């Protein structure tokens, strides 16, 4: 059985590829249109997996709380993608992607505040170094 970190590594690899593919794809296309097109692909891909695995049968069992929070998460994803594609249109992928990953530090803070997750000194130091690295990409 695969563990969480294997999926996290797959996510990181896919996100890296996404940055390069999106940078190439957004050339000469409105960043909003590019985001909308990408969203359609994600939508078809995700629903295809849901139906192929039979997980669509779980929909009637969903409560209000998961639906509300998933909808809010979707809004956050939409805002993130729109801003990311615009940033890629305006700047180099090698600088946009590291700045985008500052979300790691923000996630750490939000997880501690809202989810009461414990932030160890190793985790804090690791994230601080990643933030420093991301900020170093800002200078030419």
Domain boundaries, the chain: 4-91, 101-140
Asked whether 18 and 39 are in contact (CB, 8 A), the reply is no
What is the pTM for the complete model shown?
0.84
Whole-number percent of the chain with pLDDT over 90? 84
Q: What CA–CA distance (Å, rounded) separates 59 from 63?
A: 9
Residue 86 Rama label (left phi>0; alpha psi -120 to 50; beta)? alpha
Instruction: List the Cα angle 79/80/82 in 5-degree steps.
Output: 65
Over residues 43-84, the pLDDT tens digits come to 999 999 999 999 999 999 999 999 999 999 999 999 999 999
pLDDT confidence of residue 110: 95
Over residues 37-47, the pLDDT tens digits come to 999 999 999 99
Confidence of residue 139 (pLDDT cuts 50, 70, 90): confident
pLDDT confidence of residue 71: 96
DSSP state of 11: H
DSSP state of 59: G
């Amino acid at each position: 059985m695969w563990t969480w970190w294997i999926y996290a590594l797959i996510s990181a690899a896919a996100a890296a590829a996404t940055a390069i593919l999106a940078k190439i794809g957004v050339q000469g296309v409105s960043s909003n249109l590019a985001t909308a097109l990408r969203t359609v692909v994600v939508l078809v891909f995700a629903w295809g997996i849901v139906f192929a695995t039979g997980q669509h049968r779980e929909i009637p069992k969903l409560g209000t709380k998961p639906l509300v929070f998933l909808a809010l998460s979707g809004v956050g994803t939409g805002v993130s993608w729109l801003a990311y594609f615009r940033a890629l249109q305006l700047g180099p992928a090698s600088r946009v992607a590291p700045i985008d990953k500052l979300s790691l530090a923000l996630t750490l803070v939000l997880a501690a505040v809202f989810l009461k997750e414990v932030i160890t000194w190793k985790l804090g130091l690791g994230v601080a170094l990643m933030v420093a690295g991301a900020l170093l990409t800002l200078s030419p």
